[in-house]
C-alpha cells in the first residue's frame, strides 16, 4: 500500500466527539424538533401558532419539544406580563444556525424520495417472495 492510503473503515474520533454527535442527534433527530424549528424559522410565534403550524403534534409533545429546545439554547422563550399571559418562542442565533443543515436534509429528502420509495417497494417484494418460499418449504406434504 502507498503511504497516502487511509482506511475507509477507521474514523478517528474521540469519545467527546461521539458524545457530542449522539447528544445533538438526540435533540434534533426527532420529527417534532425539526418541524418546530422549521415553523420558527420565519420569526417568533406563540404556542398555539406553533401548534397550528405543526400538524399532528400533541400539546404534551409540543411542550416537551419546546422545553428541550430552550434547554439546549436553540429557542428563546419570552413571557409578557399580560392577562392572559402571552408567551413567544423564537429561534436563538444557535437555532438559526441549525437551519442550514436542516434545509440540506430537506433538499436531500425531496430529491431522493422516489429512489427510497422504489427501494422500499423492491424490499417488500423480496420479503413477500421469501415468505412464500419459506411457507412452501414448511408446508406439510
| 141: confidence class by pLDDT, cuts 50, 70, 90 | low
pLDDT at 10: 56
Coil vs helix vs strand at 79: strand
Give residue 48's pLDDT.
Answer: 94
- The answer to whether residue 82 scores a pLDDT higher than 80 is yes
Q: Where do the domains of the chain lie?
A: 1-93, 98-141
Q: How far apart are CA 130 and CA 57, in angstroms?
A: 38
- What is the pLDDT averaged over residues 116-139? 88
* Confidence at 59, pLDDT banded by 50, 70, 90: very high
Reference 102, options 114, 118, 91; nearest CA is 91
Q: CATH says 1-93 is which class?
A: mainly alpha
Determine how many CB atoms are found less than 10 A away from the CB of residue 33. Answer: 21
Confidence band for 140, pLDDT divided at 50, 70 and 90:
low
Q: How far apart are CA 64 and CA 68, in angstroms?
A: 6
The answer to whether the pTM exceeds 0.75 is no
* Whether the predicted pLDDT of 2 surpasses 80: no
Alpha-carbon distance values, 98 to 12, 47, 51, 59, 123 (Å): 25, 21, 20, 24, 33
Nearest CA to 109 out of 36, 58, 35, 49 is that of: 35
The answer to whether residue 6 scores a pLDDT higher than 60 is: no
Amino acid at each position: 500500500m502507498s503511504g497516502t492510503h487511509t482506511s475507509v473503515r477507521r474514523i478517528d474520533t474521540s469519545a467527546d466527539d461521539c458524545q457530542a454527535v449522539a447528544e445533538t442527534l438526540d435533540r434534533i433527530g426527532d420529527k417534532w424538533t425539526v418541524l418546530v424549528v422549521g415553523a420558527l424559522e420565519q420569526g417568533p410565534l406563540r404556542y398555539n401558532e406553533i401548534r397550528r403550524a405543526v400538524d399532528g403534534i400533541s400539546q404534551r409533545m409540543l411542550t416537551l419539544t419546546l422545553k428541550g429546545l430552550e434547554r439546549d439554547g436553540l429557542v428563546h422563550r419570552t413571557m409578557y406580563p399580560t392577562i392572559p399571559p402571552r408567551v413567544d418562542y423564537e429561534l436563538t442565533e444557535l437555532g438559526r444556525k441549525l437551519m442550514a443543515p436542516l434545509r440540506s436534509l430537506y433538499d436531500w429528502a425531496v430529491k431522493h424520495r422516489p429512489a427510497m420509495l422504489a427501494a422500499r417497494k423492491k424490499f417488500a417484494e423480496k420479503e413477500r417472495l421469501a415468505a412464500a418460499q419459506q411457507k412452501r418449504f414448511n408446508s406439510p406434504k
